[in-house]
């Protein structure tokens, strides 16, 4: 009897092992099929964009990120919103949603919100003001989440964080807010205008060779190189020009120290400099930087008068209200 049981158990184990071996290839085949289907969908979307341009149905916003951010917002719609970010304040204004609190900032907020209570700086808002406003939901910039969470410790407050660093972030967060707050009509009106501008500029650049670009920003005492992760970098990337910080200098941070020897080696066609006497190094400081180092004069951008100082009010702060103007002005440097 014992021998029969052993044989029976062995047979069962053998069947289980065989079954697992049969299932494993099927799972792998499913995964491969899913990947192929996703790749085919992405290719189809890219071809559709090339043929028809961007549309509200194919707006270039990452659908997975959109669904993820939308799902993270509270199910119950808030009545009293406090916003701690200027770009997100602009979005609420465009969506005709009036918050009860806005950030205190040197960067301008929509004039229509001048009568609304200011809650302090985007990084460290005034907790007493927020409490007195009986806030249902505080919305802040994703990049400041850790600082804000620390500032808000002790408050039983519902919070939500949305990305605002790049051009793609602006479209994504605006679509999330518009959908969540039930303002699709206003949202589509603004998105359509932005998509039209993207389509117009893509058409303009069609068949043309775009320049290799270096982006720089002035801090209080020096200049730094900007990668495609910066706001200006994302605009340049959207227009299809090559940012040598990414392709040649291989910088990993959004802002990196300038290595002029490397810049001379890779010799960009155009240099865009974001300088502001109010927020960092001024245009005069950049001219002094060039004057004290002869290496700048060896660059093609210098010889061809393709070093441009940008308006900080347009390019210094991520702004969905300025984004069409910013795209157009950057394109002016690339597409003649």
pLDDT the model gives residue 46 = 57
How far is the first Cα of the chain from the last one, in angstroms, to the nearest whole number? 92
Min mean pLDDT across 29-38, 61-70, 222-231 is at 29-38
pLDDT at residue 173 is higher than 70 = yes
Q: 328, exposed or middle or buried, with CB in 10 Å at 0-12, 13-18, 19+?
A: middle
pLDDT band, very low/low/confident/very high, at 48 (cuts 50, 70, 90)? low
103 has a pLDDT exceeding 60: yes
Does 37 score more than 80 pLDDT?
Answer: no
Residue 7 or 237, more confident: 237
pLDDT: which is higher, 49 or 243 = 243
Task: Identify the pLDDT of residue 252.
Answer: 87
| C-alpha separations of 114 from 105, 125, 199, 289, 300 in Å | 12, 17, 34, 40, 46
- The answer to which of 113-127, 186-200, 219-233 has the lowest mean pLDDT is 219-233
pLDDT of 214 higher than 90: yes
What are the C-alpha distances in Å from 171 to residues 87, 152, 234, 260?
Answer: 11, 27, 12, 35
The conformational region for residue 116 under phi > 0 = left, psi -120 to 50 = alpha, else beta, is beta
- The pLDDT of 287-316, averaged and rounded, is 90
DSSP calls for 118-166: E-B-SSSB-HHHHHHTT-SEEEEEGGGHHHHHHHTTT----EEEE--SS
| Alpha carbon separation from 83 to 89, 184, 258, 312 (Å, rounded) | 6, 20, 35, 23
> What number is the average pLDDT over the span 39-53?
61
- Asked if the model's pLDDT at residue 84 lies above 50, the reply is yes
DSSP code at position 322: T
pLDDT of amino acid 259: 87
Express each pLDDT in 272-288 by its tens digit: 999 876 666 778 888 88
**pLDDT surpasses 50 at 136:** yes
3-class DSSP state of 93: helix
Asked if pLDDT for residue 26 goes beyond 90, the answer is no
Pick the closest to residue 70 from 180, 145, 182, 235 (CA basis): 180
- Residue whose C-alpha is closest to residue 99's, from 108, 88, 107: 88
pLDDT of residue 31: 63
Q: Which residue in 181, 178, 124, 173 sits closest to 149, CA to CA?
A: 124
Euclidean distance between CA atoms 251 and 255, whole angstroms: 8
Distance from C-alpha of 130 to C-alpha of 92, rounded to nearest angstrom:
18
Higher pLDDT, 34 or 161: 161
Q: What is the pLDDT of residue 97?
A: 98
Reported confidence tier of residue 172, pLDDT bands at 50, 70, 90 = very high
Q: Is the pLDDT of residue 329 over 60?
A: yes
143/29: higher pLDDT: 143
Query: Would the pLDDT of 7 be above 80?
Result: no
Residues 54, 199: Cα–Cα separation, whole Å: 6
Residue 28: pLDDT band with limits 50, 70, 90: low
Query: Phi-psi region for residue 242, left (φ > 0), alpha (ψ -120 to 50) or beta?
Result: beta
76: tokens are 């119950």
């Amino acid at each position: 009897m014992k021998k029969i049981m052993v044989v029976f158990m062995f047979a069962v184990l053998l069947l289980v092992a065989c079954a697992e071996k049969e299932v494993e290839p099927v799972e792998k085949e499913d995964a491969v099929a899913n990947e192929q289907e996703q790749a085919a969908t992405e290719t189809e979307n890219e071809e559709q964009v090339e043929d028809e341009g961007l549309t509200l149905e194919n707006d270039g916003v990452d659908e997975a990120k959109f669904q993820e951010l939308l799902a993270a917002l509270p199910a119950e719609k808030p009545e009293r919103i406090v916003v701690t970010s200027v770009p997100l304040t602009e979005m609420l204004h465009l969506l005709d949603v009036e918050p009860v609190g806005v950030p205190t900032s040197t960067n301008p907020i929509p004039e229509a919100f001048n009568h609304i209570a200011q809650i302090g700086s985007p990084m460290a808002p005034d907790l007493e003001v927020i409490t007195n406003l009986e806030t249902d939901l505080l919305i802040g910039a994703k990049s400041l989440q850790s600082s804000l969470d620390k500032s808000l410790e002790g408050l039983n407050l519902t919070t939500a964080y949305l990305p605002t660093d790049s051009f793609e972030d602006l479209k994504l967060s605006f679509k999330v807010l518009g959908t969540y707050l039930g303002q699709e009509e206003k949202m589509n009106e603004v998105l359509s205008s932005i998509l039209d501008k993207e389509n117009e500029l893509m058409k303009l650049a069609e068949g043309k060779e775009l320049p290799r670009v270096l982006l720089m920003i002035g801090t209080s005492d020096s200049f730094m190189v900007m990668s495609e992760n910066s706001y200006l970098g994302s605009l340049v990337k959207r227009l299809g020009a090559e940012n040598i910080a990414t392709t040649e200098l291989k910088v990993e941070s959004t802002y990196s120290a300038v290595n002029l020897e490397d810049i001379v080696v890779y010799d960009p066609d155009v240099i865009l400099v974001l300088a502001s006497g109010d927020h960092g190094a001024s245009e005069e400081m950049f001219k002094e930087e060039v004057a004290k180092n002869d290496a700048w004069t060896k660059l093609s951008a210098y010889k061809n008068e393709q070093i441009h100082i940008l308006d900080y009010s347009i390019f210094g702060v991520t702004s969905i209200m300025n984004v069409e103007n910013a795209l157009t002005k950057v394109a002016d440097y690339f597409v003649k």
